[in-house]
A and B are shown apart, each in its own frame.
Chain A
Amino acid sequence: MVKLHTSLGTITLRIDEQNAPKTARNFLDYVASGYYDNTIFHRVIAHFMIQGGGFAPGMAEKETRPPIENEGAQTTAAGLRNKRGAIAMARTSDPHSATAQFFINVVDNDFLDYTAPTAQGWGYCVFGEVCEGMDVVDKIRAVATGRRGFHQDVPIQEVIIERAELC
């Protein structure tokens, strides 16, 4: 379990090391190293997802470790889906580019699941779910957002992950 202590409350995550071994290990390593402490949810789209884990307050992008392999094929087969409350890895247009940034689905987003090993079909690898604190997630999705440099959908009032705790 991982607890994200945010400025709007605590989100508790159950991480699925069995079905998403590499993705879970990557996330837990970032948690254990304190990487997520004092980072922000920098991309909030109310009817879609909330994304964080890559920027310090002030939109300062953090250095990451190398990207990981997309395990979407096996996690989708194991029943891990991008439904409301599921946590998955964010990435660039390259399917195997996930590093530290993750997102929590706030609605069912079936179209994000793996369907085929193609640019459109790789999907986004789910590796856990919110088991407590969905009300906090809903508070975050409801914040006002705006544009900041290259980034859109940035909360105007920062939502900070003060500490990520392994428990």
Chain B
Amino acid sequence: MAARAQRLIQRFPEPIIHFIADLHLAPETPGALAIFERFLAGEARHGSALYILGDLFDVWVGDDDRRSGQRVIAALRALTAAGVTVGLIPGNRDFLLGTRFAAASGVERLADPSRLELAEGPILLSHGDALCTADTDYQAFRRQTRDPAWQAAFLARPLTERRAIAHRLRADSERAKPAKSWASMDVEEAEVCALLRAQRAKRLIHGHTHRPGNHVLDIDGQRAERWVLGAWSEEQGDALRLQDGVLTRLTLA
């Protein structure tokens, strides 16, 4: 029997924890919203925590936009009121989710990356866009938009103007995609390894790339894992469940 001190701690049973990302909820996607509401009212309640790893919303131009997300906030509020911890790492579409959203939903905003401390070692959680370092244009854009001064200036603009800017940015990004290589829009493995090494972690869960999978990495001779959450569609959602230290993928409908 391997005898690491931590193993002897009677931390079992461990609660179930769920992870989701890239739902891209919007008024135009009622199917995904319905799957989300069913998941939050059902399966998610068997867990003690739910972590949303970015892009819950397809676009978020400020907490004062009352047109967006009222049903999503209500569903999250019901889940957090039932005692389930919900943490959210903002994504590249909804990084403006702010304190008013957090207060209304009961959701805790988390840093990217965040560490989930477990008996068998930490799991790192990230949206994943910061790891796509080959896409230098995007990284420059990311640095600009994550700057508090830029955000304050943006949020000071009228709502209609913000919606128009967001719309334009999205159109620009869609237009730029065909010119970018498939590889440049994925995470950089070296970046992932550096992050895991620095955090002394063996597992990373992220979204963003819309390329669901689980990859085995070799970090200095040690096995590590990168789990990628899939994007949601109108027909189905993707989630990971952690139970007693083991990750399994769920398809939600």
Contacts and interface: CB of A to CB of B under 8 A. Distances in A.
A43 B244 contact: no
Interface stretch (A3-11, A31-39, A47-55, A155-163): A47-55
A127 to B, nearest CB: 15
Contact of A90 (B5, B12, B16, B243): B12
Interface string B59-92: 0000000000000000000000011110000000
B183 to A, nearest CB: 36
Given A93-B244, A93-B245, A45 B10 contact: no
Prevailing SS type, chain A contact patch: loop
Interface in A138-167: 147, 150-152
A124 B11 CA distance: 12
B10 A101 contact: yes
A88 B120 CA distance: 22
A151 B243 contact: no
Interface residues of B, number: 27
B48 interface: yes
Contacts of B84: 47
A26 interface: no
B8 A92 contact: yes
Contacts of A91: 10, 12
Contacts of B85: 47
Contacts of A119: 244
B10 A97 contact: yes
Contact of B10 (A54, A110, A120): A54
B246 A48 contact: no
B103 interface: no
A43 B84 CA distance: 16
Nearest to B120: A93
A94 B119 CA distance: 13
Nearest to B244: A120
Contacts of A2: none
A25 to B, nearest CB: 19
A45 B245 contact: no
Contacts of B11: 43, 90, 92
Contacts of B45: 47
B6 interface: yes
A47 B10 CA distance: 19
B15 interface: yes
Contacts of A111: 16, 46, 243
B15 A92 contact: no
Interface of B: 1, 5-13, 15-16, 45-48, 82-85, 117, 119-120, 243-246
Interface of A: 43, 45-49, 51, 54, 90-94, 97-99, 101, 103, 109-112, 119-120, 124, 147, 150-152
- A-B pairs with lowest CB-CB distance, top 3: A47-B83, A48-B15, A90-B10
Given A48-B13, A49-B15, A94-B1, 5 more contacts: A47-B15, A47-B48, A48-B15, A93-B7, A111-B243
8 contacts: A45-B15, A49-B15, A54-B10, A92-B7, A93-B245, A109-B13, A147-B117, A150-B5
